[in-house]
Amino acid sequence: MTRRRILAGAFTCSPSGTPGFTGGEDILGWNLLMQIAKNHDVWALTQEEDRGSIEEAITTKPIPGLHFHYVSFPRWLKPLLKFQGGHQIYYYFWQINAYLAARRLHLELNFDLFHHITYANDWMASFIGALLPIPYVRGPGGGAHRAPREIEQEYTLTGRLWEKVRRLGQWLFRHDPFFIKGQSRAGAILVCNWDSMRQIPKKWSHKAGLFPVSGVSSEDLSFPFPPKAEDGVFDVLAAGSLIRVKGFGLAIKAFKLFADKYPNTRLTIAGSGPEEPRLRVLIRGSSLEDKVYLPGTVPRDTLLSKMASSDVLLFPSLRDGGGTVVIEAMSAAKPVVCLDIGGPGLHINEECGIKLKPTSPMETVQNLANALERLYLDEGLRVRLGKAARKRAEQEYHWDILGVRLMEIYQPILHREPGR
């Protein structure tokens, strides 16, 4: 394969996490860049805030063919990062400087393709994709997903209003002339779940495809998982940002029903966020102080070790395009209980977990409790699902496999005649 020159947009990209940002987008950016660099020379545009972790990583272990160009933005816009939705607005304006940098680099290096990787959403314009006159690949992205109406009752009034604002904002961004031009120019549009796929207009659907935003590395699969403690306790793990949309209130209510029948159980919810005070009130009101633990945000290695000592991952997110922690649990050979929504609903099938159709909050709580009970009573089922989950992670979500898939997507676009 001839090595080409690839320009990549990776606003969030870090081997160890981007300060001030949450989720798996930074890991997505980092891993896809490493995969591309195996076959092509890559120049990645990313934010200045990631310079420290990136430079430390590439100094310790240089990556041939991978170059970084850091794009800064006026500090007076930084307060936007403190507000819900502020990251997207900050990023939209950051792209102005990124496009100017891309144009200068293209005049010098004459790139063969631009790949927009992060932000991994499917509704905001990529200025570089729209304006730089070279082949363009977008994604994988998501964001079109929404909680089913039946379960939106779990949101507060403020949360329901914010959902309406979010959907209105996405509608407006999808009608941005730069977004429309970029989608029209793209040779491939990659999305991470069926909700996002259904949002793509028919005129662009022929170039759309599913591609996950989460994966596992060989290091993940060879992580020295400690053996589960022989204390007889059935351990349930949940993890993620403590925000309403992650559904941890449902998790606690479901665990209450389950623990009332089977007392020798424990629930750990790893993460931090604005919902923590409400969740602690719910724990106290349910008399679960000695069974439900909120340790806050924990290092990734600690989380993986906790997965190894757990029996099941409970992931009741009401709206989630990716679900990185679901893939991590699969790599640890743990069965997953989740809602059939977005990314988790795509990752989990009946062979490696239990996914539930979302209904009303009350019915969903009961169904989650029933799923925990089923796994508690059937150790053989837990083992079978866990082994199948591990196999699925190895065969479908390994970054090396995803890298091969990406090169297959690149190939016809790189060889396409100009103007086609």
Least confident of 226-235, 296-305, 349-358, 378-387: 226-235
- Supply the mean pLDDT for the chain: 89
Q: What share of the chain in percent tops pLDDT 90?
A: 65
Q: What is the pLDDT of residue 324?
A: 87
Query: Who wins on pLDDT, 358 or 225?
Result: 358
**Hunting for tokens 């891309």 — which residue is that?**
102
Q: In which residue are the tokens 């660099």 written?
A: 37
Please write the tens of the pLDDT for every residue from 368-411. 999 999 999 999 999 999 999 999 999 999 999 999 999 999 99
- Rounded average pLDDT over 184-192: 96
211 touches 121 (CB < 8 A):
no
What pTM, to 2 d.p., does this model score?
A: 0.89
State yes or no: pLDDT of 18 exceeds 50. no
pLDDT reading at 109 higher than 80: yes
pLDDT in tens, 126-179: 999 999 999 999 999 987 666 666 666 676 777 777 777 777 887 888 889 999
Q: Please list the residue range(s) of the chain that carry CATH number 3.40.50.2000.
A: 5-213+398-414, 218-396
Read off the tokens for 35: 């995969």
- Class of domain 218-396 as given by CATH: alpha beta
**How confident is the model over 229-256, as a mean pLDDT?**
91
- Give 366's pLDDT tier (boundaries 50, 70, 90): very high
- Say if residue 229's pLDDT is above 70: no
Least confidently predicted of 101-105, 354-358, 369-373 = 354-358
> What pLDDT is attached to residue 146?
66
pLDDT bin (cut points 50, 70, 90) of residue 20 is very low
pLDDT at residue 180, as a whole number: 95
What tens digit of pLDDT does each residue of 251-265 get?
A: 999 999 999 999 999
**AA letter at 77:** L
Q: In 373-404, which positions are buried (b, 16+ CB within 10 angstroms) versus exposed (e)?
A: eebbeeeeebeebbebbbebbeebbbbeebbe
Say which DSSP state 42 is in. Answer: E
Segment 253-256 long-range contacts (CB within 8 Å, at least 24 positions apart) = 253/282, 253/286, 253/365, 254/314, 254/316, 254/364, 254/365, 254/366, 254/368, 254/369, 254/372, 255/288, 255/291, 255/292, 255/314, 255/369, 255/372, 256/286, 256/288
**Would the pLDDT of 17 be above 90?**
no
Question: Which fold would CATH assign to domain 5-213+398-414?
Answer: Rossmann fold (3.40.50)
